[in-house]
Amino acid sequence: MTDQLLNLACGLFLLTAIGVLWRRELSALIALLTVQGLALTGIAAVLAVGHSTETMVVAVGVGLLKAGLLPWLLRRVLTQVPGARETAPLVNVSASMLAAAGLVLLAYVAARPLVELAPTAAAQAAPVGIAVVLIGFFLATTRRRAISQIIGVMLIDNGIAAVAFLATGGVPLVVELGVSADLLLAVLVLQVLTTRLHAAFGDTDLDELRELHD
C-alpha cells in the first residue's frame, strides 16, 4: 500500500513537471507547481510514516513552503502582469516534449547504479527526482519569461529535494530549510525585478535586459 502511494506521488511529481513544459499560461504553470509541491509533500509524508518525527516535520514544512508560500508569492508577481503567456519559447513546445522524453530516459539510465545499490521502492523512484531536475534546467534555459525561469529553478529545487528524500529517506531539517530560504530570497528578488521590468518596458521578457548592456 505504501509502495502504491509512493508510486502515485512520484508519478504525479513527474507529470506536473512535464505539464509545466507543456502549458503556456503562466497561471497554469503556477497551479501545476502547487500540485507538484503537494506531490513532494506526499512523497515526504509517505516516507516519514513509521520512520521519524523529524522527517514528518520536514514534510509539513515542505508542504507549507512549496505548496503554499512560494506559489502564493508567484501569484502575487503574476497579478502585476495579468494574462501573461509564454508565447515564444526558444524551443517550441513539441520539441520541448521530445526533449523531456529524452531527459527522462537519460535520468533513468543515469540513476541505474543508484537504484541497483538499494533496490527498495523509494530508491527505484529516485530517477523521477533526477528527471525533474533536468526538466527544470531545460525550462530555465529555454523560456523567456522571468516567471517561467524562476519556476524552472523551483523545479530543480523540488527535484533535488525529491532525490534526497527517495535516496536517503529524508534530509536534515536544517539543510532543507537553508535551501528553501535561498529560494525564497530568489523569488522575492524576482518579484522586485519583474515589477521594475514591467514598469520600465511594459513586459517581463528577460531578453529585454540585453538592452541594458548597450
Partner 1 sequence: MNQVGSALSLAFGLAGVGALAGLVAPARWRSLAAGAAIAAVGAAGAAAGFAVVSGTGWQVSLPDLLPLAGVSLSADALAGWFLLLIGGVAAVVGVYTVGYAGRSGHGPASRAALAVLPVFVAAMLLVPVAASVSTFLLAWELMAVTSLLLVLGEHRHSPAVRTAGLWYAAMTQAGFVAVLLGLVWLAAAAGGESFAVIRAAGPGLSPVVAGGVFLLCVAGFASKAGAVPLHPWLPRAHAEAPSHVSALMSAAMVKLGVYGIVRVGFDLLGGGPRWWWLLLGGLGAVSALYGILQAAVATDLKRLLAFSTSENVGLILLGLAAAGLWADAGQPAVAGVALAAALLHAANHAGFKTLLFCGAGSVLRATGTRDLDVLGGLSRRMPATTLLFTVGALGAAALPPGNGFVSEWLLLQALLHRAPAAGTVITVAAPVAVAVVALTAGIGVAAYVKALGTGFLARPRSTAAASAVESPPSMLAGMGLAAVVCAGLAVAPAVSAPALDRIATGLNAGTAPLAGGGVDVRLSGIASTISPLWIAVGVVGLAVGYAAAARALGRTRRRAAAWDCGDGPLTPRMEYTATSFAEPLQRVFDNVLAPEQDVDVTHPAESAYLVRAVQYRRRLPDRVEARLYRPLIAAADTVGRAARLLATGSVHRYLAYMLGALVAVLVAGVIR
Partner 2 sequence: MSAWGAAAVQAVLVAAVAPLLIGFMRAVRARLEGRAGGRLVQPWRDLRKQLRKESIIPADAGVFFTAAPVVLLATSVLVAAAAPYLSTRGPLPGVADLIVVVGLLLLGAVALALAGLDTGTAFGGMGASREMTIAALVEPTLLLSVFALSTRSGSTDLGAIVAAGAADTAGAFTPASALAAAALAIATLAEAGRLPVDNPATHLELTMVHEAMVLEYSGRDLALVEWAAAMRLTILLGLLANLFIPWGVATSLHPLAIAVAVVVFVAKLAVLGGLLAAGEVFAAKLRLFRIPELLAGSFVLGLLAVITSAVLA
Binding site for partner 1 (CB under 8 A): 92, 94-95, 105, 108-109, 112
All cell numbers assigned to 142: 529555454
162 forms part of the interface with partner 2 (CB under 8 A) = no
Q: Which stretch binds partner 2 (CB under 8 A): 33-41, 75-83, 88-96, 197-205?
A: 88-96
Residue 124 near which of partner 2, partner 1, none (CB within 5-8 Å, type-dependent): partner 2
The letter for the amino acid at 95 is A
Distance CA(3)–CA(119), nearest Å, equals 13
x/- binding map, residues 119-158, to partner 2, per CB under 8 A? -----x--x-------------------------------
- Output 117 or 188, the one with its CB closest to partner 1: 117
> How does 193-211 read in b/e, with b if 16+ C-beta sit within 10 Å?
bbeebbeeeeebebeeeee
Residues near 186 by beta carbon (within 8 Å), at least 6 away in sequence: 150, 153
Q: What whole-number distance in Å separates Cα of residue 64 and Cα of residue 68?
A: 5
Grid cell in block for residue 147? 516567471
Lay out the site mask for partner 2 across 19-58 (x = CB under 8 A, - = otherwise): ---x------------------------------------
Cα radius of gyration rounded to whole Å, the chain:
17
Partner touching 97 among partner 2, partner 1, none, CB below 5 to 8 Å by kind: partner 2
Backbone angles phi, psi at 210, to 5 degrees: -60, -30
Q: Which long-range contacts (CB under 8 A, 24 or more apart) does 113-120 make?
A: 114/167, 118/167
For partner 2, which is the closer residue by CB, 95 or 175?
A: 95
Binding mask 96-125 for partner 2 (x = CB under 8 A): -xx-xx--xx--x------x--------x-
CB of 97 or CB of 193, closer to partner 2: 97
Residues that bind partner 2 (CB under 8 A): 7-8, 11, 14-15, 18, 22, 93-95, 97-98, 100-101, 104-105, 108, 115, 124, 127
